[in-house]
Amino acid sequence: MPTSAPQAAPTVRANPVLAGFHPDPSVCRVGDDYYLACSSFEYYPGVPLFHSRDLVHWTQIGNALDRPEQLNIPLDSRSSGGVYAPTLRHHEGLFWLIVTNVSGDGNLIVTAADPAGPWSAPVFAPDVPGIDPDLAWDEDGTCWCTVAGVSQRRLDPATGKALSPTRQIWSGTPGAKAPEAPHLYRIGAYWYLLIAEGGTERGHGISVARARTPEGPFEPCPVNPILTHRSTDHPIQNTGHADLVQGPDGSWWMLLLGVRPAGGTPGWHVLGRETFLVPVAWQAEWPVVGELSLTLTALPWPLEPVPAVPARDDFDLADLSELRPHWISLRDRSPRHFSTTERPGWLTLHARGDGLDATDAVFLGRRQTDPSCGMRVLFDPAAGRGGLAVRLDEEHHYTVEADAREVRAVARIGPLRTVLAAQPRPPGPLVLRTEITETRALRDARTGPDTVTLGFEHPAEGFVVLACLDGRYLSTEVAGGFTGRVLGVYAAAGTVHIDWCEYQPASG
């Protein structure tokens, strides 16, 4: 049987281990290395991939779906569509990743010898209905594919063809909605089926069942859910969509998604669903989840810090493919609209559609990973219009925007779009800036989670603030959906250029 969880030790750092919009983690171990994949929804490239040696410090090594042939997200598809819930596994010398593109090709499989890429052309699996697909191989090499619902079939992963009819194998806890995110494992004498249920909001939880064979019958754990924070004031909420992995010392751990609501009632989470780490022990051959906390106890193996993501990008690149993997666009990254060579040393964006209010917006950004942070960009509107955005979706974003005449702060909240303030633009390129400040003290139950400040740096006047806005309107609790904030640059009309972009967590 698996070993117990590690003994308690002094705390060493904070959860989440992957901050910001990194939901639906799936993890696999190969030797001393761990690899993790997350959902990416409407953003391109799709499925960010991370590497770690200690389960705590993760470095992004690439994106699995980084070519148009792999990822087809129509330009008219809505936000929170696109790529849902990958499963990452290693089998017979290959990494296998199965994922659902709900806006395009359905379930698809890609493989790689090296998870940093390149990943193969996709194998489509039209015989596999549903979302959140999982792959597991039994001792005789049969591949089992399990999806939300929870249903299962035997699958040939090389062709995407089903080898057996679809069977319902478990429906989760009676009365709990949305059984999803299945992962199937052989651990000791049993096959364990881990699922999320209760919906991906405050009622989210993790439950488990076991069987002697991968196709069941499955016996539910008598104390399901084995993890949930529903109906509590715990600082980590919406806990679910988990994957199990063994630590370097043989102990067991779970990576899962959760959110950190802030402000008053009902609490607003703005960074999206993040990835957390929690220990797992085994009792009577059932997994027992330890305490999930914002502080993480020291591990019984060495921690291996990794280099921080560079704060500044200067876009001195020979090709778009050299962009660091944390940069993401909306639905595609066509060379007709993005260039690093048209004006050497600058990123050039050519607009299409109606700017950020449209699904085909030309936008390049990175996830907000800190509750308090800032972004600055050196921006030249040239003969166009665009700027710096704090984006949640097409209908929820704040921007500081410039054209040939002026600089303005704009808020889009649901059906309303408002220019909040405007000033004449100083000549030449200018620094656009946003500062995000987490709420430290509640004034009353309605206090928002943070404040978003928009402005620009005037050569004579310093930082000119155009607007200070309540951040709750760029939260999932207001906007709905499954994503988190992304900060970045965009073109709304014509052509714009960006010399550099700098993201910094707030000190203190």
Active site residues: 24, 180
Contact 371, 507 (CB under 8 A): no
Q: Which of 120, 40, 39 is nearest to 331 (CA)?
A: 40
Length of the chain: 508
**DSSP E strand boundaries for 338-485:** 338-339, 347-350, 362-367, 373-380, 385-393, 396-402, 406-413, 416-424, 430-438, 450-458, 462-470
Q: Position of tokens 């050039």? A: 348
Q: Position of tokens 């529903």? A: 230
| Residue 187 tokens, joined | 């651990």
d(CA 1, CA 401): 59
Residue 13 burial (CB < 10 Å; 0-12/13-18/19+)? Answer: middle
**DSSP E strand boundaries for 55-172:** 59-65, 83-91, 94-101, 106-112, 123-124, 134-137, 143-147, 151-156, 161-162, 167-168
Phi, psi of 471, rounded to the nearest 5 degrees = -75, -10
Does residue 335 have a cis bond before it (omega within 30 degrees)? no
Residue 473 burial (CB < 10 Å; 0-12/13-18/19+)? Answer: buried
Does residue 102 have a cis bond before it (omega within 30 degrees)? no
Contact 88, 95 (CB under 8 A): yes
Helix (H, G, I), strand (E, B) or coil at 435: strand
Does residue 217 have a cis bond before it (omega within 30 degrees)? yes
CA 94 to chain centre: 24
Q: Going by C-beta distance under 8 Å and a sequence separation of 6 or more, which residues neighbour residue 369?
A: 19, 20, 271, 505
d(CA 235, CA 257): 13
DSSP for 113-135?
A: SSTTSPPPPPEE-TT--SSS-EE
| Residue 219 tokens, joined | 């016996």
The C-alpha R_g of the chain, in whole angstroms, comes to: 23
CA 123 to chain centre: 23
